[in-house]
Amino acid sequence: MKSLRPAGNKSQDSGIAEMEELPVPQHIKISNITCDSFKICWDMDARVKERITHYFIDLNKKENKNSNKFKHKDVPTKLVAKAVPLPMTVRGHWFLSPRTEYTVAVQTASKQSDGDYAVSEWSEIIEFCTADYSAVHLTQLLEKAEAIAGRMLRFSSFYRNQHKEYFDHVREAQGNKMLPYMKDNSGSHGSPISGKLHGVLFSCNTEFNTGKPPQDSPYGRHRFEVLAEELFHPKTNLYFGDFYCMYTAYHFVILVIAPEGSEGDDFCKQRLPALDLTDNRFLTCTEGEDGRLAFHHAQDVILEIIFTEPVDLAQGQLAEISGHQLMGTSTINAKKDPSCKTCNISVGR
């Protein structure tokens, strides 16, 4: 959290008078930051606290270069709040977005008998960044995803499509292992895994008529395919990561598979809703009477599976697919549709 000198201190609106004796908020502190709220407090001269009837709070996204000047009509970036004991919780006054940098400045004010305000100078400008989605918000996303997941289809393998050059690099420079890499910024803006979780991305969706992986892919014509039990079994944990769409009729669900006790498992335990491996709406691993594992995936969503550990090419098979490379369906750094009622929740995108 940073502080800056305000671009403009004095209020210039008619109906607002300057009074030097009103205290300027000092040493502003922002705390208890979530994806859609924060607490704000500051130091004031105790001798004139009783004269303060209101706070003027100016909040802007950091990229907004306009000077911090109070105007009554500038809603929703400006807030007139009745003076309350500090710290003051700011929630619901603005539609705050997660993972977004904001600036905030404060004036103290005294409402006069004629309805006008006497105000202090603006405080220093403070910068802060809102947080990722909390477990509560992710659970809301999870419930929305469960509502459209559809019936479960059986599958037997995970697969990863890439260009030939990628797999050549894996062999020559990475000891035959596909190494975890940082998750990109595709999906929900508030997802706690974007730009933080490391893993290897796999798919598992199958074609309804064949029960096999599709022959087309947006990521490349070379496919690594590995038996499902190599990555997904009773000694792994499964987590819900995100739910989104890209201005399309179909939706994506991101799941994370992490071996028990791994670094990725520790990361997910602190941030993501855990799913029951044998009983959830997206991806299951169950054991039959014969001791064999059976695997099922949801039919009506496209699953993106992040496996948090390195995967050796020797664990599966590499082959070239016969279909096309569908460039328009890639989700690399894809932005979520903020207007979709199916996959958005009410605390930002």
- pLDDT band, residue 324 (cuts 50/70/90): low
Is the pLDDT score of 327 beyond 60?
no
| pLDDT given for residue 213 in this prediction | 84
| pLDDT given for residue 19 in this prediction | 46
289 versus 203: the higher-pLDDT residue is 203
- pLDDT band, residue 14 (cuts 50/70/90): very low
| pLDDT given for residue 218 in this prediction | 79
State pLDDT tens for residues 161-188.
999 999 999 999 999 999 999 999 889 9
Q: Classify each residue of 292-309 as buried b or exposed e, where b means 16 or more C-beta atoms within 10 Å of its C-beta.
A: ebebbbbeebbbbbbbbb
Burial class of residue 216, CB neighbours in 10 A (0-12, 13-18, 19+): middle
Tell me the mean pLDDT in the region 235-254: 94
Closest residue by Cα to residue 303 from 141, 149, 186: 149
CATH 2.60.40.10 placement within the chain? 26-130
Question: Would you state the structure tokens that stand for residue 140, as one six-digit string?
Answer: 């809301």
114 versus 158: the higher-pLDDT residue is 158
- CA gap 163, 221 in Å, rounded: 6
Is the pLDDT score of 11 beyond 80?
no
| pLDDT given for residue 339 in this prediction | 87
Tell me the mean pLDDT in the region 147-167: 95
Enter the pTM of the model.
Answer: 0.82
- pLDDT band, residue 23 (cuts 50/70/90): confident
Query: 188 and 145 in contact (C-beta within 8 Å)?
Result: no
| pLDDT given for residue 209 in this prediction | 77
Q: Classify each residue of 54-71 as buried b or exposed e, where b means 16 or more C-beta atoms within 10 Å of its C-beta.
A: bbbbbbbeeeeeeebbbe
Cα 178 from chain centre: 25
Which superfamily does CATH assign the domain made up of 26-130 to?
Answer: Immunoglobulins (2.60.40.10)
Closest residue by Cα to residue 330 from 219, 243, 249, 244: 219
